[in-house]
Amino acid sequence: MKKSLLIAITAIAFCLPAVSQQESGRKWEYRMFAGHNAGGSMPLPLPAEIRKIRYWSPEPFTGSLAFHVTRFISPKWGVTSGLAIDVKGMKTEADVKYMNTSLVVGEGDHQGVFQGMFTGRNKLRIRNGYLVLPLLGTYAPSRVWRFHAGGYVAFLQDARFEGNASDGYIRQGGPAGDRINIEESTFDFSDNVRKTDAGVMALADWFFTKKLAVTGQLSWGLVSLFPGDFNGIPYKMYNIYLMGGIAYRL
């Protein structure tokens, strides 16, 4: 993520001289924004294996830092692109039944790695960092409002997808396999997270001063978090996050 931050800052630094050469309100608009992401990397719809969600909370410091450039092709319509660093994550705990997974058991009568159907309690922590490139259509109905919608592609820079399973059992190999009681076990699928993400994005800015705005963003991933041949999670998961923050118009 440090490397990604350096790339983003360098790109912004090259863009800033061009900003000063533009006359205000002509054809170009530049803004920077920072905010906090809240949401989840989740399956849709909720699969039958998840019987009850005990809690959910966003990961701390799951922020977004971006620089966007808008080229207006008419007084109200334009095209926006730029560069962003997004950190997306969550913590959740759920009761699951017959969830196909791989667990590492380090204590008790059975130790080792077991692949099979787990029933019990599952805790999950996700924290993934992306370098994001958006391409958006922009609508500016007035001086104080900006609306943007389109798509994005994101490149994974750092991944964390791990958790533990407890208070249950796993049937090794399938529903009819040997039952192995699980008091406490772990899993770590960080290395299996897909290196790219892509989806749709919508943003809105409300400028309460000439330069400052409250901004909100919805990003909805359309690419599964894991490749199709990954069998550690039995269902597809997608990045769906809301961001709230402050924008500054240069």
State the greatest distance between any 2 C-alpha atoms of the chain, in Å, as a whole number: 73
pLDDT in the model for residue 9: 46
Rounded to whole angstroms, the Cα distance separating 181 from 109 reads: 9
pLDDT in the model for residue 18: 46
pLDDT band at 233, cuts 50/70/90? confident
Structural domain for 202, as ranges: 2-249
pLDDT in the model for residue 116: 85
Does residue 140 have a pLDDT over 60?
yes
Asked if 32 and 247 touch (Cβ cutoff 8 Å), the reply is yes
pLDDT in the model for residue 23: 43
Rounded to whole angstroms, the Cα distance separating 126 from 206 reads: 31
pLDDT band at 13, cuts 50/70/90? very low
For residue 20, the surrounding DSSP H or E stretch is: helix 2-20
**Percentage, residues of the chain above pLDDT 70:** 87
Which residue's entry shows tokens 């008790």? 108
pLDDT in the model for residue 109: 55
pLDDT in the model for residue 17: 47
pLDDT in the model for residue 111: 66
pLDDT in the model for residue 131: 97
Q: Are strands 63-72 and 179-188 parallel, antiparallel or unpaired?
A: unpaired
Does residue 97 have a pLDDT over 70?
yes
pLDDT band at 195, cuts 50/70/90? very high
pLDDT in the model for residue 38: 92
Asked if 84 and 60 touch (Cβ cutoff 8 Å), the reply is no
Asked if 245 and 33 touch (Cβ cutoff 8 Å), the reply is yes
For residue 242, the surrounding DSSP H or E stretch is: strand 238-249
Give the predicted TM-score (pTM) of the model: 0.83
pLDDT band at 238, cuts 50/70/90? very high
pLDDT band at 244, cuts 50/70/90? very high
Does residue 8 have a pLDDT over 60?
no
Asked if 123 and 163 touch (Cβ cutoff 8 Å), the reply is yes
CATH (domain of 38): 2.40.160
Number of independent structural domains in the chain: 1
Rounded to whole angstroms, the Cα distance separating 178 from 69 reads: 58
DSSP 148: E
For 18, phi and psi rounded to 5 degrees? Answer: -70, -30
Asked if 147 and 203 touch (Cβ cutoff 8 Å), the reply is yes
Asked if 199 and 222 touch (Cβ cutoff 8 Å), the reply is yes
pLDDT in the model for residue 134: 97
**pLDDT tens-digit map of 56-82:** 988 888 899 999 999 999 989 999 999
Bond prior to 43 in cis (omega within 30° of 0): no
